[in-house]
Amino acid sequence: MERTILSWVLAVAIALIALPVQAQDDVKLEIVDGLYNAGLKAKIEMSTGRLLTEINRAFKENRALNLALMELSETAERGLNALWENTHFYCNESEVLQSCLNNGSGYQVRRIPLIIKPMGETLDDNYQEAVINYDANGKIERLNFTLSTTIYQDVMKKGKTVTEVARRQEILSYVEQFRTAYNEEDIVFLENIFSEDALIITGVVTKVKKTDGAGVTYDKVTYKKQGKQEYIANLKRSFAVNKWINVNFDEVKVVKHPNPKMEGFYGVTVHQLYANSSGYSDDGYLFMLWDFRNKDEVQIHVRTWQPRWMNSNRTEEIAKEEIFTTGDFVIDL
């Protein structure tokens, strides 16, 4: 009898010792609102929990992701593997409670908490949230790093009609994928999203002499124009020499083009923080003119970047009225 009790106590003790190790890695998703099809809800919860658990285990064991048995689209699997090559991350909560959003063609679960660690670097851990997109059947289509909840909600609440709200949701999804594509070094997506005749404008602060002959100089932003092919070639070189690239967007503004002839065109202005493993970083304003006339072939026709700071000690910012906006560009249709 004593031996039986002792054996039982030992078995329980061993189980209790093992339990916290498993709990540290396992993640459970619970959808608390927005999806009322019980079967679909259970499918999304299970597949997402399995994915986040695998991410945590791969992070802990410092290995590649094993996505072979996950229910992922080819795009999702390729994107996750590419992202993992440059950045490792893990979910720091064992239970994630979130709402599910219907985006018209499928579903989204936002605010997935992640801790980010660039590969091979000693940088501090960085908190970031992710959004997981699903198709109409609940298959995971993409994982993107998100805009902050405050920014997302601020852009969405400015949609005055059902159609406009849906369009803004679509725009923000593309903006999040665009941002994540740099972290993934996804050159295929970036090549496809820019139109063949895209205009790329980059601003640089330069010293300019005043014309009074006194030799006094002042800071001015000068601009360089590129075509798509030159820009993509430069991106490929950057991707090849950098272990990681980190891009963050904030202060997002979405404006419908004011010209009635350009229905379906939207300007997106973001404050961008960029850094890479080579030690380069910049802080500036990114403007993109998006064409949503064909939802199956969304394109960017204009991309501009302007520096935020006009001097090296960061005491003078670029004037707000000089930042490019939607009305500054008209496309020949």
Q: What percent of the chain has pLDDT over 70?
A: 88
How are beta strands 28-33 and 95-102 bridged, if at all? parallel
CB 112 within 8 A of CB 98: yes
- Using pLDDT thresholds of 50, 70 and 90, give the confidence band for residue 7: low
CB 287 within 8 A of CB 269: yes
- Using pLDDT thresholds of 50, 70 and 90, give the confidence band for residue 22: very low
Query: What pLDDT digit, counting tens, does each position of 23-44 carry?
Result: 568 999 999 999 999 999 999 9
CB 150 within 8 A of CB 162: no
Query: What pLDDT digit, counting tens, does each position of 143-189 carry?
Result: 999 988 888 989 998 888 888 888 899 999 999 999 999 989 999 99
Cite the DSSP H helix spans in the chain: 2-25, 38-61, 74-86, 149-156, 162-184, 187-193, 228-241
Please, which residues bridge with residue 250 across strands? 271
Higher pLDDT, 209 or 226: 226
CB 63 within 8 A of CB 159: no
For the segment 290-301, the average pLDDT, to the nearest whole number, is 92
Query: What pLDDT digit, counting tens, does each position of 218-266 carry?
Result: 678 899 999 999 999 999 999 999 988 888 898 899 999 999 999 999 9
pLDDT for the residue 304? 97
For the segment 310-318, the average pLDDT, to the nearest whole number, is 89
For the segment 91-100, the average pLDDT, to the nearest whole number, is 94
- By three-state DSSP, how is residue 105 classified? coil
The b-or-e profile of 235-254 (16+ CB within 10 A means b, else e) is: beebbeebebbbbbbeebbb
Domains of the chain: 23-146 (no CATH), 187-328 (3.10.450.50)
Please, which residues bridge with residue 291 across strands? 265, 299
User: Is the per-residue pLDDT at 61 higher than 80?
Assistant: yes
Mean pLDDT check: name the lowest of 86-90, 210-214, 269-273, 304-308. Answer: 210-214
- Using pLDDT thresholds of 50, 70 and 90, give the confidence band for residue 212: low
User: Is the per-residue pLDDT at 17 higher than 50?
Assistant: no
Task: Report the mean per-residue pLDDT for the chain.
Answer: 87
pLDDT for the residue 296? 86
Residue 145, both tokens = 């790093």
Burial of residue 44 (CB within 10 Å: 0-12, 13-18, 19+) is buried
Q: How many residues does the chain have?
A: 333
